[in-house]
Structure 1
Amino acid sequence: MAGSRLRRAGFVVGAAAVLTLATNTAAWVNWTAAPWGGNQGKLSQQWVDESYNEINFTGCDEVYGRKSVDIALWQQIDWGSDKKHDTSTFTNCFNGTGHKSTATQTGLPYDSYYFEIDKIGSGCVPCAVIVDEVNVDTTKAD
């Protein structure tokens, strides 16, 4: 009887460790996606940040010829509503292949973050932006 309780306790502890590992590996420090895109409301993958981050879009295009995209930075709040920190409008990345738009945020608390396509053009819900490369960089040194 004591042996089966011990096995069950070991299983519970092991399962909790696997669940913790699985949920913590979803957020990366730096990441790149090529290509990447979506319409209004599309969320990026998450990353873990401390104090500084940089979101880069290189080579943007939109089917209907829109020439801007607004990106909102969100902080993931466990057990509460996520916190919106900043919205940046990207236009330079629409000037052709290799052109980059960058949003930089500083003074952020250590946490998990993601961005959302907040608006395309002046607010085109069915529109979609395609980005040759999205890069999130949390190292201020470069």
Structure 2
Amino acid sequence: MTGSRLRKAGLIAGAAAVLTFATSTSAWANWTANNWVGNQGKLSQQWVDESYNEINFTGCDEVYGRTSVDVALWQQIDWGSDKKHDTSTFTNCFKGASQKSTATQTGLPRDSYYFEIDKIGSGCISCAVAVTKVNVDTTKAD
């Protein structure tokens, strides 16, 4: 191999390593997002989990006055269809800026997970829920 080819091969290998690191670190355990907005069908970022997780929404609001949001937990399946585990209806977070709604799941296999805004109110495709704080916590000890 010539020097030019070696440099190109090294550059490609280095870029692949950086890309692998960058994509694998985005799917990790606990995470928080402030001022998160989602419409029906919006997916969250992914996280890696086993056995236990909590999805917390604090301070929910919807422009048209809807007072509930259905949040579905999904397990990412690498070589097949993702698996839906549970859907929770959040209502308490709509009762004030500091009010929290929580969905808790246990007995989950170690894998990557994400949530989806399944439904807003009784079903409103053009609606969007604004959440002051979204938190995913995979530590049962809290």
Is the pair's TM-score, using the shorter chain for normalization, greater than 0.5?
A: yes
1:102-121 residue pairs with structure 2 within 5 A? 102-121=102-121
Deviations 1:39-71 (A, max 9, x none): 100111111111110000011111111110000
Equivalence for 1:135: 135
Deviation at 1:105, TM superposition (A): 0.4
Moved more, 26-35 or 116-125: 26-35
Structure 1: segments with no counterpart, 5+ residues: none
Equivalence for 2:45: 45
Tell me the matched-pair count.
142
Structure 2: segments with no counterpart, 5+ residues: none
Deviations 1:64-110 (A, max 9, x none): 11110000001111122111111000001111111110000011111
SS in 2 for 1:16: helix
Query: Which 4+ residue blocks in structure 1 deviate beyond 6 angstroms?
Result: none
Deviation at 1:38, TM superposition (A): 1.4
Question: In 2, Cα distance between the equivalents of 1:135 and 1:77?
Answer: 23
Question: In 2, Cα distance between the equivalents of 1:33 and 1:5?
Answer: 44
Equivalence for 1:27: 27
Residue type of the partner of 2:46?
Answer: Q
RMSD over aligned Cα atoms: 1.6
Residue type of the partner of 2:71?
Answer: I
1:1-142 residue pairs with structure 2 within 5 A? 1=1, 7=7, 10-142=10-142
Question: In 1, Cα distance between the equivalents of 2:7 and 2:64?
Answer: 61
Aligned identity (percent) is: 83
Question: In 2, Cα distance between the equivalents of 1:44 and 1:21?
Answer: 20
